[in-house]
Every structure is written in C-alpha cells, then in structure tokens.
Structure 1
Amino acid sequence: MKNSLKGLGAALCVALSIAAQAPAGAAAAAATGAAGQTLVQRGAYLAQLGDCAACHTAPKGKPFAGGLPMNTPMGRIYVTNITPDAQTGIGGYTEADFARALREGVAKDGHNLYPAMPYPSYAKVNDDDVKALYAFFMHGVAPVQQANRESDIKWPLNMRWPLMFWNMAFLDKGAYRDKPGKDVAWNRGAYLVQGLGHCGSCHTPRGVAFQESALDESGSAFLSGALLDGWFASNLTGEHNTGLGRWSDEDLRTFLKTGANRHASAFGAMTSVINNSTQAMSDQDGAAVSAYLKSLPPAGGNGAPAYSYDPQATRVSLDRPANDAGARVYTAYCMHCHGVDGRGFAPMLAPLAGNPNVLAKDASSLINVTLNGTGDLVINGVPSPFPMPGFAAVLDDQQIADVLSFVRAGWNNGAPTVGVAEVAKLRQSTQAGR
C-alpha cells in the first residue's frame, strides 16, 4: 500500500503540473484522469478484499477469466469471465448492470446467478465501493476472450427462473448501515466481514434451500462453522474450543496476514483467501475485522469443557513401541512435524493440541488435509516452506481413521473418533479425476 500511495502521489503531482501550464480544457482532462486512476486503484484494493480472483481465476488461467469449477449440492458450476471483454466478459455492462449483478445476482441479459456467487453478502456493499469496483474491472483488468462454460447441473435443476423466488425469500437488499452504539472500527469490520469479505458464505451453516442461516450477528448461527465442498469452514465466533475464544486480537490479525499463528494454519479454500485477499488488507482494516469478529458471542460449540492442555497420557501412548494403531501411524508419519507434545513448531508447523480444527465436531477438514495436503501459503511472494503433504497414496482408510482418532483424543483434545467410512467417502469425492 505504501508503494501504491507513493505512485498515486506522483501521479497527482504530474496532473497538477500539467494543469498549471495547460488550457482549462486540458487541465480538466488531466484532473479527471488522476481521479479516475485513484478510483481504479481503490477498486483494485476492494476486489482483493472481496477475494474476486480466488473464484474467478482458474488454476493456470488468466486473471478473472473464469472457468473455475465449483461444486454445489445440485451439481458442478463453472465461474464466469468477469474481464472487460465485450463478447465473453462484462465489457458491455453499464455501472447499473454491474451493480445489479453484484448485489442482486442478476446478469445483464436478465438471467439469475446461482447463489454460489455471494451476492447476498455483496448486497451490503455501498454505492461508492460499487463505483470503484466497476472502475477497476473496466479499466484495471485486461480483457480476455474466453467463453463461459455451461454448468453440469441436469434439467430441471438447471432452470434459473426459480431463483427469482429464492431471492424474494432470502435476499436482503440494501447496503450496510452503521449500527448505533458501535464505534467506527466495529462498524468497518462488520461491513467488511458481512459484505465484501462474504465470510458467511463459507463459515455460516446453510438451510435446506442453500440459504445462509444468518447474514449477521443477529442470528446465532452466523459464522458458527459449516461444511462446504469437503472442508469444514471454521467457527469464527467466540466459542472457546472450536472458535476464536482463545485467540487474542494479535493472533487473529497475524492469521489474516500470514495464514498461521500459534493456534492453527490455513488449509483448503482459506489458503486462497489468505493468498489473494486478507494479506493485502491494510492494518486499519485488519484491526477492524478483528475487532468485529472478537465481539461475536460463542456459538456452535461441541458442548465439551473448556480445553486445557495435558500431554501426559499421550506421551505415554507414544513411548516406543507405540501402544495403539493410531499412535504407531503418528510416530511414523506425523511426529517429526507436529511433535511428541502435539504443539508443532508454530507458526511454521501447525499445533494439534488444542487446535480448533482438531476439536471441531466435524472431522472433514482433518480427513481432507490428511488425504490431499494443502496448497502453499504465499506471503509477499514467498511460498511457505513446510506445506502439509497428502497421504492418500501412503495410508489406507483404516490408518487415516486410526491416526486422526488418536490425534483427536490426544493432549486432552477430547474430540470424537473418526470412522473408516468417513475417510472412504472423502477419499472418493476428493480423489475423483485426480
């Protein structure tokens, strides 16, 4: 951001110099150009906050050209091209068209977007930010001619007109409005979390119609954790065991900047969020997001007593030779990174003792990351040195169930065991097509 601000300052100086020497018409044009560039730069930052690249850029694809496959309960859809190409992208969109698609889920030609596009969250984006985003996508993104791909959803579920009724039932229109009695930082954090950050799209449970169970802190399910595409998106409330109750403000801000702290490391889709979005967040916005999240009351816990670290029983079970099947797998494959004490070597290597993802009732993320590993966190252009490897080709379903059950019981974690059938199901769904 500092370099961007220096560049902006230089641009404004040039514009003022031209204005002093040029006729009135040329001076006006120069000022308009500088203002336009400022708007584009602001839109670029907002697009990072919205993590637009993560969904609209396919692996090895061109930025914002779409094509990324996304699984939904009805079938697979493919994310659209949002570059300013006139034929295959959004080059023909007016600002009003863009705003309608962003906040109401309706494309320029009138067809409804699937709510995998988080327009129920983007509905809260204010007019000034919509204007800046439009300027960025029209003038700050290279046009790419790449046709959009039809979804794999079969008829009649692929019909879009019923989404009009879905919107009538579940879409709350209107930009975010500051809550009285809350300070500037809290309201800014709420605006980012509920709106551009669309955190609820992954971290809030969904109902039978795929609607988010709550859109803000007024609903107890808001950000309480949810299963999505083979991962369990973590609880972001103040719950002591599975949420952020034991995280300090510094812990949370560190996680947003780097994807790791003394409690946990990012995995699954959250890796992309860190890489493409939150690490670019200004310190002021990061502090605002942390202030808001840390204000949320506990919700969605597993009913277990508050976690406290106790290594004794686990240390005994790991004595050579390890005395159960899970401990033997852990000793052979896991202990060198995560330690006999389960505390890992944070933030480089995640702890398992007291890790909220280990304590969660749903073990999907643990199974998925053990089978498939996780992508590299790339912070300031530098990949993380120790990404979690996948063990799908090394360990069978029983071994993975055994070691995860051991981890979930170890160090006083006290979480439920993992069944072989759970591992087999996720192996089948995540390994298909690899």
Structure 2
Amino acid sequence: MKKTLKGLGAALSVALPFLAQTPVHAADQALVQRGAYLAKLGDCVACHTAPKGKPFAGGLPMNTPMGQIYTTNITPDQQTGIGAYSETDFARAMREGIAKDGHNLYPAMPYPSYAKVNDDDMKALYAYFMSGVAPVQQANREPDIKWPMNMRWPLKFWNMVFLEKGVYQDKSGKDVAWNRGAYIIQGLGHCGSCHTPRGIAFQEKALDESGSAFLAGGLLDGWFASNLTGEHNVGLGRWNDQDLQAFLKTGANRHASAFGAMTSVINNSTQGMNDSDIAAMTTYLKSLPPVGGNGGPSYSYDPQATKVSLGRPADNAGARVYTAYCMHCHGVDGRGFAPLLAPLAGNPNVLEKDPSSLINVTLNGTADLVIGGIPAAYPMPKYAPVLNDQQIADVLTFVRAGWNNGAPTVSVEEVAKLRKSTQAAR
C-alpha cells in the first residue's frame, strides 16, 4: 500500500506541473477565442509589445507630459506578468486602473474607456490572457518620471473626479448597429484616448457623444489624432460609409492614409474585425455632428494657382522642395494615386489647423501598413536626414496653401520643436 501511494505521489509530482499549465478545458476554447477577438478590438498588443519584443510582454515607451513611462507585462507569467491575477483583480485593473497590489495605473492605460466593457466580455478577455497568451518572464520597467511627479497616490483623486464607472448601457431610440458601434468605440476601441482633446489634468474632455469635444481630434505624443466627427473639412463629413469602412480595413481610401499610431491600429486591430463590427463603427461615427474645423465652406478642389507655382522653374522655395521630393508620389495635381499614395488636396490632415502630424510624418516617415500579411508598397519615407527645418516648413506651407487647401502656414520653430522631441524619443 505504501509503495502504491509512493508511486501515486511520484506520478502526481510529474503530472501536476503539466496540469497546471493546461490552458483551458475544451469546453472553454470558444471563450478563449472570443477573448482573442476582443483583445484585437482593444488593440492590446500594440501598446503592450515593445519593438522586437515578445507579444504582450510590455516595455513599450510612451511619452506623457510628466515623462516617459513603459507599458507592463500582461502575459500570464506568475512573477512578472498578471498570472497571479484573479478575474476580479483583472476586471479591477481594466475598469478602475488599480493593479493587484493596489497601486494606481497611469491613465495612459485607457481604463476610463475599459470601464464600459460588460461582464461577459471581461470574462472572455480574462480567459484569453490567462489561457491563450504565452507567459513571458520579463520584469516591468520603472517610469522615467522624477519625484514628486512619480507619486501615484494623487491618481486616487484623479479617478474620483474623472473616472465614470459603469458598463455601457444601450441608448434608447438607437438601433442595434449604432449601439454596437458606440460600445466598441467608447469601450475596448478606446478611440477617444487619442482622438479626443485632453484637459489640464490629462483627462479626456468627453467620454461619449454627450460631450461636444468627443472625437474632435487631439494632440498626443507628437501627432494630432484626426477629427472623427462629421466636420466637412478636417473630419469625416466628406467620407461616405464605403470610404470609412475601407480606411478601417486597409488604412487608406480616396481621402487619406493612416500614419503614426493609427498604422498600428489598422495592422493589429481594425483589419481583423468582422464586417458587422466595422459597419457598426461606421454607423456610429457617421452619426456624430460636426465639431471643430475653421468654420469655412466645404473644401472644393482648385488646382490652377498651384499648377502655375509648380511651373519650371518653380516660383517659391516650398514649390521647389515639392518638385524635388514630393511630386513623383503626390502628383502635380496633389491627388496622389489613392489609395496607394495619399492625396494632399483636400486631405483632412492637411486642412487641420494643427500641423503636428504633417511635420512628424515628414520628419520621421511612418511604419508600413501590413494588410493581409503584405506590406504597403509605398510607405512615407523619413526626411529628417535630408531636409532642414526651413525646407520642411516651406514645403508644408506650400502644400497647406496648394490646391485650394487654405490651411495656415508652418513655422520653422514648429518643425524644430518636433524634430527635437521626436528624435530625443528614438
């Protein structure tokens, strides 16, 4: 009998580690798969994966007004990740920004949006991160924020003022598609984290369509995230449903191409969404009234004056830079070769008052859009090593005035400031 028990103990000592690592019971695989799709809706991999790092192991640097922080390891590793989190711990971190040990997370983690995620979806996400993600032992990196700004206890008061608790509730009088789109965009999609302007305390000025600032565009980390309201020049007012759906699926359409952080959103999130969810997001976004812009008439294309400026020889400094470096892709007519090469004439990002994105993409280019595993043929190259601040200011001023765009000039000082901040972060 003792021998039998001893043998059973030995067998268990061998088997238990493997049993503990068994992902989930077969009956739960559907829950894990659903969680994987929801994690795609949230684009979790984009923030929680460092360049050349392992998925979800953290370490991606993020710039904040207080200094640089680094995303955390959210793999199920017991020591360095979230493997010891219960489902309650996980939901609390997602909805309230409080880690298992009680410390407050910085609101760069979009928990004010994730607060709206319903219980069923939270359960599926937990199943995925505990059982569908490979554990990675990688310690989290402390933020580069100096005392006293690195103290986290004031975040308790931040949450008291700015965190709205409670899962999303369907709006009466709205159809299923509208409510589904609102749930994705306000919740896991956390679109407002980039596309809504922030206040002095780094809070989003609105968390849903009841606030006029919601999705009106915002400056974040050296980029101006586009206006997503129905504004007819800098927003989506001239985009039809097909334009918006094409952009979400491929990152490009006849009006614009994705750049900056939006490239990662297309690559890791929206292109993998099902058609029903893409259509729901479109329904919701196209329902938003116009906000922002310059109050002028809707853009109308007029190439004549620009065509004269681009004559040989070009008649101003910006036109000369354009003919040498830009015209072969974006054309004399400014219409590019959409969707392969972005148009500049009437492009909402060109018409936007804040030129940060134009300066940034000209200096630093943009990462490849990778659709269906195939990289885009013509990514925007970086011109920081090629053009000086004056040349970039000149060419962007030319582009913003050209083809009847009528946008403000770009100053040398604006270019120099972004060159310094973006090069320092690399």
TM-score w.r.t. the length of structure 2 is: 0.94
2:269 maps to which of 270, 277, 282? 277
Give a deviation string over 1:266-319, Cα, whole Å, max 9, x none.
000000000010000100000000000000000011223210000011001101
Whole-angstrom CA distance in 1 between matches of 2:198 and 2:55? 30
Whole-angstrom CA distance in 1 between matches of 2:395 and 2:27? 58
2:329 maps to which of 324, 337, 345? 337
Whole-angstrom CA distance in 1 between matches of 2:394 and 2:182? 41
Whole-angstrom CA distance in 2 between matches of 1:205 and 1:379? 29
Unaligned runs of 5+ in 1: 1-31
- State the AA in 2 paired with 1:197: G
Whole-angstrom CA distance in 1 between matches of 2:425 and 2:136? 27
Paired position in structure 1 for 2:165:
173
**Residue 62 of structure 2 aligns to a residue in which SS?**
strand
Give a deviation string over 1:233-259, Cα, whole Å, max 9, x none.
000000000000000000000000000
1:388 maps to which of 380, 388, 404? 380
1:120 maps to which of 112, 116, 121? 112
Whole-angstrom CA distance in 1 between matches of 2:290 and 2:164? 25
Paired position in structure 1 for 2:295:
303
**Residue 227 of structure 1 aligns to a residue in which SS?**
strand
The answer to whether 1:159 aligns with 2:151 is: yes
Shift of residue 432, structure 1, vs aligned partner = 1.7
Paired position in structure 1 for 2:237:
245
Give a deviation string over 1:333-378, Cα, whole Å, max 9, x none.
0000000000000000000000000000000000000000000000
- State the AA in 1 paired with 2:135: P
The answer to whether 1:63 aligns with 2:55 is: yes
**Residue 315 of structure 1 aligns to a residue in which SS?**
helix
Identity %: 83
Paired position in structure 1 for 2:182:
190
Aligned ranges for residues 343-422 of structure 1 at < 5 Å?
343-422=335-414
- State the AA in 2 paired with 1:272: S
The answer to whether 1:425 aligns with 2:417 is: yes
Shift of residue 433, structure 1, vs aligned partner = 5.6
1:255 maps to which of 247, 264, 273? 247
- State the AA in 1 paired with 2:126: Y
Shift of residue 420, structure 1, vs aligned partner = 0.3
1:232 maps to which of 217, 224, 229? 224
**Residue 219 of structure 2 aligns to a residue in which SS?**
strand
2:31 maps to which of 21, 39, 50? 39
**Residue 25 of structure 2 aligns to a residue in which SS?**
helix
Shift of residue 71, structure 1, vs aligned partner = 0.4
Give the direction of change, closer, same or farther, for the CA distance of 1:324–1:290 in structure 2 (3 Å limit): same
The answer to whether 1:82 aligns with 2:82 is: no
The answer to whether 1:143 aligns with 2:139 is: no
Unaligned runs of 5+ in 2: 1-23
What is the count of residue pairs matched by the alignment?
Answer: 403
Paired position in structure 1 for 2:9:
none
- State the AA in 2 paired with 1:252: L
Whole-angstrom CA distance in 2 between matches of 1:275 and 1:285? 16
Whole-angstrom CA distance in 2 between matches of 1:359 and 1:281? 29
Whole-angstrom CA distance in 1 between matches of 2:259 and 2:311? 30
Whole-angstrom CA distance in 2 between matches of 1:344 and 1:302? 25
Whole-angstrom CA distance in 2 between matches of 1:74 and 1:297? 33
TM-score w.r.t. the length of structure 1 is: 0.92
Paired position in structure 2 for 1:268:
260
- State the AA in 2 paired with 1:371: L
Runs of 4+ in 1 over 3 A off after TM superposition: none
Whole-angstrom CA distance in 2 between matches of 1:304 and 1:357? 16
**Residue 332 of structure 1 aligns to a residue in which SS?**
helix
Paired position in structure 2 for 1:290:
282
